[in-house]
Amino acid sequence: MTDTPTPTSYTVPGLVPTGPRLITARFDVADGFTYDGYVRTGGYTALRKALTSMTPQQVHDEVRTSEMQGRGGAGFPAGTKWGFLPPDVFPRYLVINGDESEPGTYKDRMLMELDPHQLIEGVVIAAYAIGAAQAFLYVRGEMALAQERLAQALNDAYANGLVGRNILGTDFSVDVTLTWGAGAYIVGEETALIESLEGERGMPRLKPPFFPAAKGLYMQPTIVNNVETLSNVPWIINESGQAFHDLGAPTSTGMRMFAVSGHVNRPGVFEVPNGITTFRMLFEAPEYCGGVRHGRSVKAFIPGGASAMWFFDEHLDLPLDKPTVDQAGSMLGSGAIVVMDDRTDMVAACWRVVRFFARESCGKCTPCREGTTWLERILKRMLDGHGRADDLATLLDVCESISPGLAWPPRQTTICPLGPSAVSPIASAVRRFQHEFEHYVQHGRPIDGVERHAIHGAGAHV
Amino acid sequence: MSDETIDDTDGTDVDAATEPEPEPKRTLTVTVDGRPFEAQPGSMVIDAAIAAGSYVPHFCYHPRMTPVGMCRQCFVEVDGPRGPMMVVSCMTPVAEGQVVRTDTPQVKRAQEGVLELLLVNHPLDCPVCDKGGECPLQDQAFSHGPGESRFVEQKRHWEKPIPISDLVFLDRERCIQCDRCTRFADEVAGDKLIHFISRGNDTQVMTFPDEPFSSYFSGNTVQICPVGALTASPYRFKARPWDLDQRASTCTTCSVGCRTVVQSTRDELVRYQGLDVESVNWGWLCDRGRFNFESIGSDDRLTTPLVRGESGLEPTSWTGALGAAARLVTEALESGGPRSIGILGGARGTNEDAFAWAALADALGVTLRDAQVGDGLPTEVLGLPRATITDAANAPTIVLLGPDLKEELPVLYLRLRDAAEKRRSRIVELSSVGTGLSRYAWKRFPYEPGLGAQAVSAALADPEVRDQLARGPVVVVAGRGNLAESQEVATATLASLLDGLTGAGASWSVLPALRRGNVVGALQLGMAPSEGAGGGLDVLRAAAEGRLELLVLVGSDPMADCPDTDLARRALAGARRIVAVDTFLTASSEQADVVLAAAAYGEKDGTTTNLEGRVSGVVAKVTATGTSRPDWMIATELGLALGHDLGFGSVDDVTDAIATRVPAYAGVTRTAVARNVEGVLTEAPLAFLPPASSSAGERNNYDYRLVVSRTLYDRAVGTATSPSLAHLAPGPAALVHPLDLELVGVSAGTEVQLVGARSSVVLPLHTDATVPRGTVRVRFQQGGGSVGELVDASTPIVDVRIERL
Ligand SMILES: Cc1cc2nc3c(=O)[nH]c(=O)nc-3n(C[C@H](O)[C@H](O)[C@H](O)COP(=O)(O)O)c2cc1C
Ligand code: SF4
Ligand code: SF4
Ligand code: SF4
Ligand code: FES
């Protein structure tokens, strides 16, 4: 498990904006994951409040007021999404996406391991708001501890009348079913997750026509929300949507968890005021990552998960704000930030990311199934010193076949965004560091001054 | 089948389907590449574009299956609210005023990009690939591809073709993962036995471990695979597409009458493909119908006529054989008159064959004739208000009272399964054992053989059934589900059902589920018992009792077809003389005095009538084996030899004569048949079921009640002489409920003795959970101890004891 540093203070004057820890506070409580620990630290008060003193509409309104953006990747406001459910169509389902598998993302895992009851409380409140009598909590296959703790928490919650029939003596009932995946990144995509829940192969459905809110699980209206999204719900109910909205920035409200990895001194998960903290603060402030390793500078960084376009030093002072980052040509996505210092081999880094997507492609559609592997093979061949003069052109042209125009937000010939995700690193790296690629082609080795890794010369995979 | 009522959570669709559609069909106007086009509402842009003359390349899209948008080949540009957008045309429904462009630079780029990607791992072994020359990948790479590939890496390698069933081979290197075969297996056939496994670039079609793709419909996957990844053993490496010659025809293996394309090369039949017609088979064929063309080229075919001499049947000339046959007819007429002659058959031939033989029988005054031998229903069933397959597949209620359609009329099974799966219809099944459609049935009313009337009463007393019947047309699929139950009982059960439906105010029609290829045509064209003359069983009884001077078998094989083997045996022994017209020497025709070698399907032109009464063409694609001749010609020549000129100089003369002389066939002209790929519907004159009573009693507790039913693959000549199919017959077995196996006290597979009132047979005993307790099911015509020995056509039902050896 990655070491989670606990910032001692959020109050370095002038440098780092402050904010409360809404959903990670219990990470410091040794037994915060147990039922007793949770209740002792104020757990399940929001549920009681929602069920006994609020209508579902009022709960929904609070979440709408909070303008909380979904934390799964797309950043769509949760309150608005809930409003897409067609009225009067039942049964409808709530699906919680705990499949977190994007390289560098490990915030949901912490939430499930260290505060499972908070998630369950959020799930029950959300189910109440949207009128779902059945929720499915889908946890990534490899997360054994999260599964174990969630299972225990769910049992305790059932035993204490907080999930199940007539919750807290009200006439609201919801069952929560725990399921786990079988180790596929693509199942994080909401429609693939739904297929998997139905017992099918985890492959995305086409949108249109299969928008989950209209035709989701078992073709019924379904809301899919991320673990972090729903973990925020109890706080919003306790403190009000407006209180949440007052945190962070108006364009990206609330606190938000970022998982930072790569060439920083102290990688970890941090809950920071959304929209106002900048990338530089996150990388450099002692409360957070405490600077780039060996005092080097940042050559590039991925601002929001492996699918995002890369950022460079000129982006360091951008705030972690959805519209700002979108406009600068990338995304905050899943909140996974990967830092690459000035000794990083861009071709190798690019290959690493592309290889991930090639291996995780579900194989459903041609451009991704064939294209991502082709990209990976070309890059690997370059790394192995067998680059060809036309490789760079081919690389970009194959990218174009997957994501026409190499635009941002990406256009796609594929069914889901996974295919274009493999294009992002190439499009970013080639745009900025074309010479590194050309150097590989001409000399069969990286430019001087970058670190060489074991991957050089290693046999091609598969 | 434990659950008799399959809970249907979403009955609303069924309701909606029953609502009358007052609105006349309207079209939507779309613009395709600048040209206006009237598109069908609900169709996809790809349909409209192609129909409007702008071809859109595609691989995964198949008009008979749910679009999945997987190959990404069919991009077009459609004007949307935010300007032009590229969409996959197979997943985009047409809309009024839609503007579609199939040829913009962006579209071309996307299509070329996808095609290049499809080819990167494709082995391009076209020169040794069966699909080469008719391959959508080859063709569309040529028309819509980038022209060359830049892929310099190693291609993906798999073990070259691996068998995934007894009939189908899979070459994963050629597969483009279009999901057509897998979708077909799941969605159309209901046999989800092939599936994608692995991920990304390793994605491959595969069976489940140790479970072959043994679907009755597997050949369709080979036909719809857009590359040479799937090949079927009967055709592998037999021919190249450019050497094939083909004509549209009709499968006559069963009475569904699927339209086919018959392909030959160098005067040899090599392949049948399904032809997509809306009213019948939607392009699908069952494997038996698709592959049993092999039997036509079998070495066992009769090549010359035979006449019985000193040392048995000896080859002879046609003049000699026809002369001998004519002599036998004349002798019979002289010694016993026309009532001493019986003619059985017609169901295995064309309309023209049956009509010519009926005409000859008329000329001779022979009234003892039938196309059935106690294995069907009275001819009058054809005169009941008749439903088409499409009527059935759109009826709110389908009542099944007959055979297992999956085993006997496979493509009808597909159509009705689709009706149930798509929630257009609810199936009410009345049967003694589970069938292929049981799992799609809304309600099942199982009954002990002989007691079907009780199931009818139970069904009609069920308030939910009564509500359901009020929802609109009811189609009864009527046939013989159990050959050990007499025709009389089956008729009585059907009559009580129809009476009950009338009483319940339901508007019903009947789809006759009589199995043999042209049984309906033969019956409608005169090979039916005339009033008072008695049916096929009576012909056999007359022969058995020594009352027949001559028995003529026109493609009829009572030893195999008649459920009562003892009766058939006695009939063949008791008839003084036998003339057989046949393609093979069968257990029946080998007993004949004269055997006239008949041409088979694929060797003769004509028409055939399916179970709906739909007439379509069959064609001669190869030269007839040896000197064999079509049945109609044999009848004509025999007529001439007997001094009766039937007036037929060619098969066309017979077709024309049918159209002019048979009122129901008035519209069935040669031009009409040639023009209508869907065939021409005929209607038989209205009739009523003959009175029949069911006198079956209750079963004695020590006995098992016998069910004899068919399976798709059996020892029928066409299957047994098709090498690819012959070994697929499951073999002889008696099947009981697992608990009854315990009661008998043997382990599965042990041989036991089934002891009936008349005889006993030895069969291995196996379990089948769809067989109710107290019932034993035996597959018909599987070789081994013939279950027909136990059947007595004159008793309503057959009870047997199961004894350990
Ligand atoms: C390839 C791919 C992988 C994804 N993986 C995840 C994931 O692991 N966890 C997650 O919550 N959302 C993931 N998403 C986003 C989900 O599709 C969905 O938008 C999200 O769960 C919605 O929750 P939210 O609205 O609360 O953010 C992924 C999307 C794509 C295209
Ligand atoms: S883009 Fe990739 S992951 Fe997404 S559906 Fe297509 S093949 Fe599957
Ligand atoms: S085997 Fe043929 S039909 Fe099946 S997925 Fe592959 S290409 Fe498509
Ligand atoms: S269902 Fe009948 S008509 Fe159709 S292919 Fe099979 S045997 Fe032939
Ligand atoms: S034909 Fe449309 S995506 Fe395959």
CATH (residue range A21-244): 3.40.50.11540
**Closest chain A CA to residue B120:** A370
pLDDT in tens, A44-84: 999 999 999 999 999 999 999 999 999 999 999 999 999 99
- pLDDT attached to residue B25: 57
**Could you read off the pLDDT of A110-164 as tens digits, one per residue?**
999 999 999 999 999 999 999 999 999 999 999 999 999 999 999 999 999 999 9
- pLDDT reported for residue B555: 97
Which residues on chain A are in Cβ contact (under 8 Å) with B151? 374
Give residue B629's pLDDT: 98
End-to-end CA gap in chain A: 29
Alpha carbons B561 and B130: distance in angstroms, whole number: 38
> Measured from the CA of B254, which atom of ligand 4 is nearest?
2
Say yes or no for a CB contact (<8 Å) between A390 and B150.
yes
CATH number corresponding to A346-443: 1.20.1440.230
CB–CB of B556/B344 below 8 Å? yes
State residue A14's pLDDT score: 55
**Beta carbons of B110 and A413 less than 8 Å apart:** yes
What lies within 8 Å, CB to CB, of B312 at 6+ separation is none
Q: With the C-alpha atoms ordered B768, B770, B771, B777, is the resulting torsion angle positive or negative? A: negative
| pLDDT score of B49 | 98
| Bridge partners for A67 per DSSP | none
DSSP state of A12: -
Which tops the pLDDT comparison, A167 or B23? A167
Assign A438 a pLDDT band (cuts: 50, 70, 90): very high
Optimal mutation site among A198, A370, A376, A414, interface B, most CBs of chain B within 10 A: A370
Q: Which residue has the tokens 């941090």?
A: A270
Report which bound ligand comes closest to the CA of B58. Answer: 5
According to DSSP H, which parts of A87-240 are helical? 107-114, 116-130, 144-159, 190-197, 227-231, 233-239
DSSP string, B137-189: HHHHHHHHS-SS----SPPP---S-EESSSSEEE-TTT-----HHHHIIIIIS
Q: What pLDDT was estimated at residue B534?
A: 81
Using DSSP's 3-state secondary structure scheme, residue A55 falls into coil
* Residue B69 in this model has a pLDDT that exceeds 50: yes
pLDDT of residue A9: 36
pLDDT reported for residue B23? 58
Location of each CATH 3.10.20.600 domain in chain A: 254-340
**Distance between CA atoms of residues B759 and B569, nearest Å:** 14
Between the CA of A412 and the centroid of ligand 5 the distance, in Å, is 14
Contact indicator for B599, B626 with CB cutoff of 8 Å: no
Residue B597 has pLDDT above 50, yes or no: yes
User: What is residue A345's predicted lDDT score, i.e. its pLDDT?
Assistant: 97
Residue where the block lists tokens 């390289």? A103
What's the alpha-carbon Rg for chain B, to the nearest Å?
Answer: 28
Q: Nearest residue of B to residue A359 by CA position?
A: B200
B371: CB partners within 8 A, 6+ apart: B344, B345, B346, B347, B354, B516, B519, B522, B523, B527, B528, B536, B556
pLDDT in tens, A124-135: 999 999 999 999
**Predicted local confidence at residue B783, as pLDDT:** 85
CA atoms lying within 13 Å on the CB side of residue B166: 14
Q: How far apart are CA A110 and CA A26, in angstroms?
A: 11
Contact B167, B287 (CB under 8 A): yes
Complete domains list, chain B, with CATH: 15-103 (3.10.20.740), 119-232 (3.30.70.20), 338-376+518-681 (3.40.50.740), 379-395+411-499 (no CATH), 704-804 (2.40.40.20)
Distance, in Å, from the CA atom of B180 to the CA atom of B196, rounded to the nearest integer, reads 11
pLDDT per residue as tens digits for the range B698-755: 888 889 999 999 999 999 999 999 999 999 999 999 999 999 999 999 999 999 999 9
Is A415 within 8 Å of B86 when comparing Cβ atoms? no
pLDDT at A15: 64
- Virtual torsion, Cα B693, B696, B697, B698, nearest 10 deg: -130
> Is pLDDT above 60 for B6?
no
B444, β-bridge pairs: B429
- Give the percent of chain B with pLDDT over 70: 97
Separation of A74 CA from ligand 2 center, angstroms?
A: 17
Identity of the residue in B72, B75, B201 whose CB atom sits nearest the CB atom of A358: B201
SS3 call for B552: strand
Model confidence over B121-140: pLDDT tens digits?
A: 999 899 999 999 999 999 99
**Residue A395 predicted with pLDDT over 70:** yes
Q: Are B114 and A372 an interchain contact pair (Cβ–Cβ within 8 Å)?
A: no
Q: For residue B480, which of B100, B123, B804, B793 has the smallest C-alpha distance?
A: B793
Q: What is the pLDDT of residue A220?
A: 98
Assign A397 to helix, strand or coil. helix
Mean pLDDT on B524-546: 93
- Nearest to A85, CA basis, from A216, A219, A189, A222: A222
Strand partners for A278:
A319
- Give first-to-last CA distance, chain B, whole Å: 30
How far away, in angstroms, is A334 Cα from ligand 1 center? Answer: 8
Residue type, A217: L
Nearest CB among A390, A397, A413 relative to B75 is that of A413
In this predicted structure, what is the pLDDT of residue A454? 58
Q: Does B1 score more than 50 pLDDT?
A: no
Name the band, by pLDDT with cuts 50, 70 and 90, for residue A455: low
Confidence of residue B22 (pLDDT cuts 50, 70, 90): low
Show residues of chain A in contact with B73, CB under 8 Å.
Answer: 366
Q: Judging by beta carbons within 10 Å of its beta carbon (0-12, 13-18, 19+), is residue B747 exposed, middle or buried?
A: exposed
Entry pTM = 0.94
Q: What is the pLDDT of residue A55?
A: 98
**A122 to A46, A111, A243, B208: CA distances (angstroms):** 9, 12, 17, 40
Residues in chain B closer than 8 A to A413 (CB atoms): 72, 75, 86, 110, 113-114
pLDDT at residue number B631: 98
Q: Which band of pLDDT confidence, cut at 50, 70 and 90, is reported for residue B585? A: very high
Indicate left, alpha or beta for A406 from its phi (over 0: left) and psi (-120 to 50: alpha): left
Q: Is the C-beta atom of A369 inside 6 A of ligand 2?
A: yes
10 Å CB burial of residue B467 (0-12, 13-18, 19+) is: exposed
* Residue of chain B with shortest Cα separation from A357: B200
The stretch A385-410 carries a mean pLDDT of: 96
Please judge whether A373 and B200 are an interchain contact, meaning their C-beta atoms are less than 8 angstroms apart: yes
Mutation probe of ligand 4 site: the residue of B188, B249, B258 with most atoms within 8 A of C-beta: B258
Q: What is the pLDDT of residue A121?
A: 98
The first and second tokens of residue B574, run together, are 């008791």
In this predicted structure, the answer to whether residue B112 has a pLDDT above a threshold of 50 is yes
Report the gap between the CA of A404 and the closest CA in chain B (Å): 8
pLDDT of residue B450: 95
pLDDT one-digit tens code per residue, B296-307 = 999 999 999 999
Q: Is the dihedral of CA A49, A54, A55, A60 positive or negative?
A: negative
Ligand 4 neighbourhood includes B614 CB (under 6 angstroms): no
CB B213 within 8 A of CB B194: yes
**DSSP state string for B1-60:** ---SB---S-THHHHHHHS---SPP--EEEEETTEEEEE-TT-BHHHHHHHTT-----SS
Q: What is the pLDDT of residue A462?
A: 30
The CATH 1.20.1440.230 portion of chain A extends over 346-443
* B695 pLDDT tier (thresholds 50, 70, 90): confident
Nearest CA in chain A to B118: A366
Give alpha helix (H) positions in B231-306: 287-291
**Could you give the ipTM of this predicted complex?**
0.93
pLDDT at B353 exceeding the cut of 80: yes
Distance A74 CA to ligand 1 centre (A): 7
Residues B372-382: tens digit of each pLDDT: 999 999 999 99
Give start-end residues of each CATH 3.40.50.11540 domain in chain A: 21-244
Query: SS3 letters for A322-371?
Result: HHHHHHCCCCCCCCEEEEEECCCCHHHHHHHHHHHHHHHCCCCCHHHHHH
Sign for the CA dihedral angle at A351, A352, A355, A356 comes to negative
* pLDDT value for A452: 80
Q: Mean pLDDT check: name the lowest of A404-418, B279-293, B398-412, B774-788.
A: B774-788
Furthest-apart CA pair in chain B: how many Å?
Answer: 91
- pLDDT per position as a tens digit, B625-670: 999 999 999 999 999 999 999 999 999 999 999 999 999 999 999 9
Tell me whether strands B75-80 and B99-101 are parallel, antiparallel or unpaired. antiparallel
Q: Which two tokens stand for residue B145?
A: 């591809």
Of the candidate CATH numbers 1.10.10.10, 3.10.20.600, 1.10.760.10, 3.30.450.40, the domain formed by A254-340 belongs to 3.10.20.600
Q: Where residue B4 falls among pLDDT bands split at 50, 70, 90?
A: very low
**Nearest of A60, A57, A59, A53 to residue A168 by alpha carbon:** A53
Q: How far apart are CA A438 and CA A455, in angstroms?
A: 19
In this prediction, residue A304 carries a pLDDT of: 95
Residue B614 to residue B677: CA distance in whole angstroms: 11
